[in-house]
Amino acid sequence: MFELAPRTDTRELAERFGRERFVHIPEIFRPDQAEELHRQLRARGDWKQVITRGDSYIELDRPTRAQLAPDQAKALDDAVYAQARTGFQYRYESIRVPDAAAERAKSDDVLARLAESMSSDPVRSLLRTITGAEDIAFADAQATAFSPGDFLTGHDDQIEGKNRRAAYVLNLTPVWRVEWGGLLLFHEGGTVRGLVPSFNALNIFAVPVMHSVSEVTRASPYRRYSVTGWLRAGPQP
């Protein structure tokens, strides 16, 4: 299980979340555990690229994408940007974690251990205190990797029946520059506020809050790794 790093700023974080509806929590877990998780994510080959298509999405594993002819890859790229111009669209790689507690328990995947930790009493207690949502019962999870050209357009995460109280992003990229994009942006009318990926930091924001992830630029030498999900009320499957 992942262990919380010691902290004395919980009250300050709760006050900030109450004012801003989002908060940045530095050094959330033991550094050695975050470093090992980052190492394992970089080494994995089971990533799938996810892209919105209408009201659903498509998944493409790396072998499938490698077999695309140049004209096929260009057509897919053009379709992604065409939808992004006027509607909701995303493109990034993902590894999903099952919601069901029983499936997580029998898995040897480090991501299942992280999801269990995010749903454990110590972490749940901290997140309830910070968000003020006392009915948070569990966290769902997926690993994400944004490569140059990947992005996520504006949305508010509100889906009927999901009982989402807040969203979270656990940043897992050790080195990042603001110029590389991949910023978590909060939309506030005609202005935005953004968070730069910061290693082993947990960003939490209320649902619904309009937000997006800016496109990772070609200047970035790294993928933008994170684990994301929602803090949810109601019984865990």
**What is the domain-level CATH number for residue 205?**
2.60.120.620
Query: Which of the four pLDDT bands, split at 50, 70 and 90, describes residue 216?
Result: very high
Q: What is the pLDDT of residue 55?
A: 82
Domain residue limits at 114: 10-45+97-232
Q: What is the pLDDT of residue 189?
A: 87
Q: 3-class SS at 99?
A: coil
In a domain, 162, yes or no: yes
Calculate ∠ Cα 21-22-24, nearest 5°: 155
In a domain, 203, yes or no: yes
Mean pLDDT, residues 122-130 taken together: 98
Mean pLDDT, residues 38-67 taken together: 96
Query: pTM for the complete prediction?
Result: 0.96
pLDDT tens per residue across span 64-88: 999 999 999 999 999 999 999 999 9
In a domain, 188, yes or no: yes
Q: How many structural domains is the chain composed of?
A: 1
pLDDT tens per residue across span 4-27: 999 999 999 999 999 999 999 999
In a domain, 89, yes or no: no
Q: What is the mean pLDDT of the chain?
A: 97
In a domain, 75, yes or no: no
The answer on pLDDT for 206 being more than 90 is yes
In a domain, 80, yes or no: no
In a domain, 50, yes or no: no
Largest CA-CA distance found in the chain, in angstroms, rounded: 55
Q: What is the pLDDT of residue 54?
A: 82
Q: Is 51 exposed, middle or buried (0-12, 13-18, 19+ CB in 10 A)?
A: middle
CB 119 within 8 A of CB 236: yes
In a domain, 83, yes or no: no
Mean pLDDT, residues 39-53 taken together: 97
Q: 3-class SS at 236?
A: coil
CA distance 61 to 106: 24
